[in-house]
Chains A and B, each alone.
Chain A
Amino acid sequence: DAKTTQPPSMDCAEGRAANLPCNHSTISGNEYVYWYRQIHSQGPQYIIHGLKNNETNEMASLIITEDRKSSTLILPHATLRDTAVYYCIVRVYNQGGKLIFGQGTELSVKP
């Protein structure tokens, strides 16, 4: 089973920041938090990952709380093309590192 909890859906206005929360209260010390997104019927796309420090790349920022029990993915200026299902995944280290997907958050960016 997935080790993360996400809201099933969120809306965001175009041009505004989209903040997607994720709870992973049972995360272990050497497990990473990964974010992927899946645009309708395409393969999931890697966004960002982190262990304990905040991370930023050209797509998004990842904020991980100090206790590592939750994180937030931030899309700073959402566009209509960011409409997708966003998956927060904890990489299970001792099970071959496989990615276990949960239900994700369906983000709708509206004009």
Chain B
Amino acid sequence: ETGVTQTPRHLVMGMTNKKSLKCEQHLGHNAMYWYKQSAKKPLELMFVYSLEERVENNSVPSRFSPECPNSSHLFLHLHTLQPEDSALYLCASSQGTGASNYGYTFGSGTRLTVV
């Protein structure tokens, strides 16, 4: 148990479906992140939330829509995805975003397959 819980662990969806990924942390952290990891590639930062406010959106297509209703929960809403969106989606949290001394805690990820 890492302190950051992601559900579901595995998801298969069609290109016309709408689904959501959920991330939950009870570490008292105030920043949360979504990363994407495609096969054989490094992690790519998608979104950054600090104090429930989105502070960064790294040119992510609009078919990915994040939501942070409170400091403990983060969602990634998915719609009309493409097969190339199949990847491991990782959530992380940290205490603050501006100071270098804070590490991240990652969840185990959601393995998404778009068919």
Contact = CB atoms under 8 A, between A and B. Distances in A.
B100 A96 contact: no
A43 B56 contact: no
Contacts of A31: 100
Contacts, number: 67
Interface in A1-35: 2, 30-32, 34
A104 B43 CA distance: 10
B103 A44 contact: no
> Contact size class for A?
20 to 34
Contacts of A103: 42
A51 B42 CA distance: 24
Contacts of A68: none
B109 A104 contact: no
Contacts of B35: 101
Contacts of B43: 44, 101
Interface of A: 2, 30-32, 34, 36, 41-46, 49, 51, 87, 91, 93, 96-104
